[in-house]
Structure 1
Amino acid sequence: MGRDITYKIWTVVMIQDGDKVLLLNRQHDHFEGFLPPGGKIDFPESFVDGAIREVREETGLKVSNLVFKGISEFVNPTVNKRYTMMNYWTKDYKGELLADPPEGEIHWVKIEEAKDLPMQEDIKIRFDLFFEPGTFEIQTVWNEEKNGPEEVFIKKT
């Protein structure tokens, strides 16, 4: 082995209220589009604590009773990087939405209409999986030369 590998871990939390979910309309850097709140885990916090913190920072809401839905990741063998996202779902939250959120406008969106919005492809791929029984694992192998996905593997349990 002997090669250094960069690992980064993020969370996303799909917050559901009836037939709607809470999405951010993020319009900066290379993560533009509608997506659930979440962000990078700070070492050494737990994944759940990081997910709760990120939702509060981005939306003002305090979520609870997170249900683990799955792992999605990008692996880039050319540059030895692995980016992993821990995906959670909840219907339990308290508080008021931020008036001026740091990551983009916050919208309650009907579940059936969400994927019609501008959304990153990896969010679209896993979107419906948040509402299905069981868990999922998605691995996207990144092609450095094409600057795009080479292969996507989806496993459901």
Structure 2
Amino acid sequence: MNYKFWTVCMIQNQDKVLLLDRQHDHFNGFIPPGGKVEFPESFVECAIREVKEETGLDVKNLKYKGIYEYVNPEKNDRYIIFNYITNEFEGQLLQNSSEGKPVWVNIDEIDQLPMQQSIRRRFPLFFQEGTFEIHVKWDNQKNTEGEVFIRKT
């Protein structure tokens, strides 16, 4: 079994969130800051580090929101993304980063932005009470998402 871990951190400032306008490789669209967990750092440490690298901001008091995972039974792969939200930040916002241009976006305008399905699916869950678990089985033959299970607690 191959396990890979990532984090995502939604940064909220009243009615806006900070997203990266990513326009490279196969992950185009607006995404929250985040990235791969480096061993032996914790998931929260990873989220804080990735936000700093990609936006220039220092975040604190992250609130855990849920897990988004992909499993590929044919390849024996499991990718798990730990999702956080915070409204506590400080620092100078970068003008650009290797992952995309950091942009404050009105929450009610998100539907109009290009965004990966996985981000769009979980976006509203960041702002609801409780936590979520999204489990996606990858369809290797079609090279796309197969079954999707969403649980809210």
Interval containing the TM-score (normalised by the shorter chain)? over 0.9
- Tell me the TM-score normalised to structure 2 length: 0.98
- Tell me the TM-score normalised to structure 1 length: 0.96
Residue 58 of structure 1 corresponds to 54
The aligned length equals: 153
Structure 1 CA distance, aligned partners of 2:53 and 2:24?
Answer: 17
Deviation sequence 1:12-43 (CA, Å, 0-9, x none):
00000010000001111221110100000001
RMSD: 0.7
Residue 30 of structure 1 corresponds to 26
Residue 11 of structure 1 corresponds to 7
Show structure 1 runs of 5+ residues with no match. none
User: Counterpart amino acid of 1:54?
Assistant: E
Structure 2 CA distance, aligned partners of 1:31 and 1:139?
Answer: 19
CA contact (8 A) 2:96 2:102 kept: no
Equivalent pairs: percent with the same residue?
60
Structure 1 CA distance, aligned partners of 2:95 and 2:85?
Answer: 23
1:37-116 mapped onto 2 (5 Å cutoff): 37-116=33-112
Return the match for 2:136 from 140, 144, 148: 140
Show structure 2 runs of 5+ residues with no match. none
1:111-122 mapped onto 2 (5 Å cutoff): 111-122=107-118
